[in-house]
Structure 1
């Protein structure tokens, strides 16, 4: 079992950084009260972390290719731990928000290197098993955040959602230094500073526009300005990359249907499988009066199914073409969303169980193969670039999904309220209040029968959200079936003087770092 210790070290960091995407959700009200600030101001605690992840993944992945994936991974762990400590000790919102951004930088360093490390440490059937385990951990982490956040906040204090990262980080650093071989980077590769700057601006401004678009207004000057900045920066990035001998992202990869299909599937996976979870949680807590921990546990069927299927798929589906694995997984994600679209005003959380389970099966099939196929499409010395690209696609997909589904959910609420005519004076304003978690206040203000009206409005909003998610999941499946093929791994460049040592390390020898 010693050969799996490097995988354990990588999965520890993966679980921690992905849990921290959502662990703060249920703790924000307690943070606002403790730090004497508004809930809206503390939205930056979530937004800045997501912004750093989306903007920096590609650049950090390319840096890791140059100086070594293990070195960047360990640096990310250390920075993440220090930032977590600072967040837990924060005495004001500005300090908390600032170090949450630093946490995102550390998280980007880890996320950009985890799959690259796995791809270089394991070969053949072992690689399939390793990516399956990594995918299982990733799927479980996505739903574990709100549950862990609720437990820690309810029984200890909100600061413990950050303090809990410290022992995990220390263990991950120790195991990485002891069991993960230090494979050589490519120091001759130049850092593409213009490309890194252009892509960071493009990804950062687009992500921020998507996050804040509903608050600022989709046609407001700030939102349109941010999208325009993202478009200009993206054009500049493409222009720079086409002229670089050693680009940050090799645009020639997109001429291959497989790589383009993987990027599209990465975006649509996040949109179709995860972006609606926030609205499920809102419905369960504000309409069905469930606590944050109980509401989080209602989503366990998805994470449990993803964990089991991803663990088994790496072992038993290693020889299956990624076209079928990713394609069928995305189709199941779409089917799972459609199954949840039967929700109505009288339903409880059990109506979601079949759909969440089917979606979890799809996530378990898709996630590990998406990462391993991206790794196989490039040479080992460019694994950080491929890892950064596919994870950037997923992070941008998450931001896009929250924005798009937020508009769909709000439209469903408003439409249902408008159908009741004089019962609701201002459907749009009432929908804003419901989407902000004020269902109880709306029901109390509206008078008799308002509770039923609120339930019907939420059900209508959720149904439309699930239908759009399902459609996008099916679209992702069709794209994968059409474009993705089993990649032929390009020949890796020789490492002068030490080919045997490098090959042994790449096979996951577990040797101590030299």
Structure 2
């Protein structure tokens, strides 16, 4: 084995995972330009996000298992190569469909990176105190990537153009590959688990069918043969996945983990915050860009109250894990996020974006606290031998939440915007159905350009009211769903906030897939 270079390992792992998480949020403020350049529909914009998060979620646990069997450095390097190649391809995309396909390639690379990142750190830092410090730096990197994503994206889109949000990854990825080849030591556990390829295929196929049905349902018709067939296929495949996990000798997702009420409560909390809050950022971005008319950089700035509140709250919450009941921390953080979303239901056609600030701050605090404590609480809910599986499942659910949220909110947003615009323009003599479809696709006040000049102000005002109504409905449903899960977490979470000891974590480094960190 090559001599260890722990500092280089920490540097390259943090840089790589910073890139992959940045690419989850950086595209939000580019959606307006993508819609304009590619004449993209809302479903195509939704896939810009979901084509990335779907393989990231579906392959995360399998990637960690492959790292255990083939070698973590090899899988990490393969992930870097795929992510870098996918980024270059995204920058060269010629249509919305090609961009969505290349985002899928990025997502596969991201899964390989994310699934092996912390196991590499665990092997590079075998001494418990140094490992704890390295994981602390790693966690701060992840939070920072989430916080600066919209701002960095806005600066690049407003400057050299949206293609640079992908091109910037290429030199970083190449440099990281060189460092990986020259400085990182290979590692693998003595008794690696087998990859569950049938389980991976069933999960990924089922999720793809479900998301495609949700995203295409409005356009195709909810009762159409295609959509009904997709939902049936999704049910069969996901059901098959659950049966596979319940009967396999070495399942990729141990369903017995959910026998723990605490683990179930944490899992629900992670999923709903990702779906309700993170998933909503796609539609908030379209509202800022196309309805309120901000530039991408200006839109990115307006996300700062949310991201900064989360960034500040996370380290404070981490210090409270040993002092405050995990029931209060987990359930309370979800309820705070629900309150934040409820505060964002005050929008109307005359609202300025500042109406959202109180909700952004409160929701950001809830998101930050949740992100800081769920790992410790979930690990305390299971025995040390299943620590890696537990954190892997939690983080898979986090990515699934983002993908599901983008798809579900698209259904809500399209329906409410279309209904409100139809009501606003009823009797105007304009092609209301076409305008409603365009507004529901996120075009916002830009639909006014399609009507005669004397009517543009009327249509723009109607579009602002419709966009506000769509977001209002989305946030209301999200607040209710999140509040229900927050109450459930208060009931389910029971264990004391005692994360695994350093000795337990050290043993897990070579015996399991280690803790895969949560996204902020």
- Shorter-chain TM-score: which interval? 0.7 to 0.9
Q: TM-score, normalised by structure 1?
A: 0.82
| Aligned counterpart in structure 1 of residue 475 of structure 2, from 453, 466, 469 | 466
- Equivalent residue for 1:39? 40
Matched, 1:396 2:397: no
Q: Can you list the C-alpha shifts for 1:62-87, whole angstroms capped at 9, x where unaligned?
A: 33454555553343223212332344
Matched, 1:229 2:233: yes
- Equivalent residue for 1:455? 464
Matched, 1:434 2:435: no
- Equivalent residue for 2:375? 371
Alpha carbons 2:29, 2:299 under 8 Å: kept: no
- Equivalent residue for 1:147? 151
CA distance in structure 2 between the aligned counterparts of 1:167 and 1:398, rounded to whole angstroms: 28
CA distance in structure 2 between the aligned counterparts of 1:500 and 1:223, rounded to whole angstroms: 44
In the TM superposition, what is the alpha-carbon distance from 1:303 to its structure 2 partner? 0.8
Matched, 1:270 2:279: no
CA distance in structure 2 between the aligned counterparts of 1:77 and 1:48, rounded to whole angstroms: 18
Q: How many residues end up aligned between the 2 structures?
A: 500
Q: TM-score, normalised by structure 2?
A: 0.81
| Aligned counterpart in structure 1 of residue 492 of structure 2, from 475, 483, 495 | 483
Matched, 1:60 2:66: no
Alpha carbons 1:61, 1:387 under 8 Å: kept: no
| Aligned counterpart in structure 2 of residue 198 of structure 1, from 190, 197, 202 | 202
- Equivalent residue for 2:518? none
Further displaced range: 196-205 or 67-76: 67-76
1:401 to 1:428, Cα distance in 2 relative to 1, 3 A? farther
**Counterparts of residues 113-512 of structure 1 (less than 5 Å):** 113-114=116-117, 137-142=141-146, 144-170=148-174, 172=176, 184-377=188-381, 384-420=388-424, 421-423=426-428, 429-436=434-441, 437-442=443-448, 444-445=451-452, 446=455, 449-486=458-495
In the TM superposition, what is the alpha-carbon distance from 1:438 to its structure 2 partner? 4.4
CA distance in structure 2 between the aligned counterparts of 1:322 and 1:69, rounded to whole angstroms: 33
In the TM superposition, what is the alpha-carbon distance from 1:161 to its structure 2 partner? 1.8
Alpha carbons 2:67, 2:188 under 8 Å: kept: no
Alpha carbons 2:335, 2:366 under 8 Å: kept: yes
1:417 to 1:203, Cα distance in 2 relative to 1, 3 A? closer
1:86 to 1:30, Cα distance in 2 relative to 1, 3 A? same
Instruction: In structure 1, list runs of 5 or more residues that go unmatched.
Output: 508-514
Matched residue of 1:346: which SS?
A: coil
Further displaced range: 161-170 or 61-70: 61-70
| Aligned counterpart in structure 1 of residue 110 of structure 2, from 103, 107, 118 | 107
| Aligned counterpart in structure 1 of residue 23 of structure 2, from 17, 20, 24 | 20
Further displaced range: 402-411 or 294-303: 402-411
Alpha carbons 1:284, 1:290 under 8 Å: kept: yes
Matched residue of 1:422: which SS?
A: coil
In the TM superposition, what is the alpha-carbon distance from 1:292 to its structure 2 partner? 1.5
CA distance in structure 1 between the aligned counterparts of 2:324 and 2:144, rounded to whole angstroms: 24
In the TM superposition, what is the alpha-carbon distance from 1:173 to its structure 2 partner? 5.3
In the TM superposition, what is the alpha-carbon distance from 1:162 to its structure 2 partner? 1.9
1:287 to 1:85, Cα distance in 2 relative to 1, 3 A? closer
In the TM superposition, what is the alpha-carbon distance from 1:425 to its structure 2 partner? 6.0
CA distance in structure 1 between the aligned counterparts of 2:477 and 2:10, rounded to whole angstroms: 36
Alpha carbons 1:58, 1:388 under 8 Å: kept: yes
CA distance in structure 1 between the aligned counterparts of 2:283 and 2:188, rounded to whole angstroms: 45
1:241 to 1:502, Cα distance in 2 relative to 1, 3 A? closer
Alpha carbons 1:275, 1:402 under 8 Å: kept: yes
1:462 to 1:270, Cα distance in 2 relative to 1, 3 A? same
Alpha carbons 2:86, 2:103 under 8 Å: kept: yes
CA distance in structure 1 between the aligned counterparts of 2:285 and 2:372, rounded to whole angstroms: 26
Further displaced range: 387-396 or 126-135: 126-135
Q: Cα RMSD (Å) of the superposition?
A: 4.0
In the TM superposition, what is the alpha-carbon distance from 1:102 to its structure 2 partner? 1.8
CA distance in structure 1 between the aligned counterparts of 2:285 and 2:93, rounded to whole angstroms: 28
In the TM superposition, what is the alpha-carbon distance from 1:316 to its structure 2 partner? 4.6
In the TM superposition, what is the alpha-carbon distance from 1:254 to its structure 2 partner? 1.4
CA distance in structure 1 between the aligned counterparts of 2:118 and 2:377, rounded to whole angstroms: 11
CA distance in structure 2 between the aligned counterparts of 1:11 and 1:148, rounded to whole angstroms: 17
Instruction: In structure 2, list runs of 5 or more residues that go unmatched.
Output: 516-520
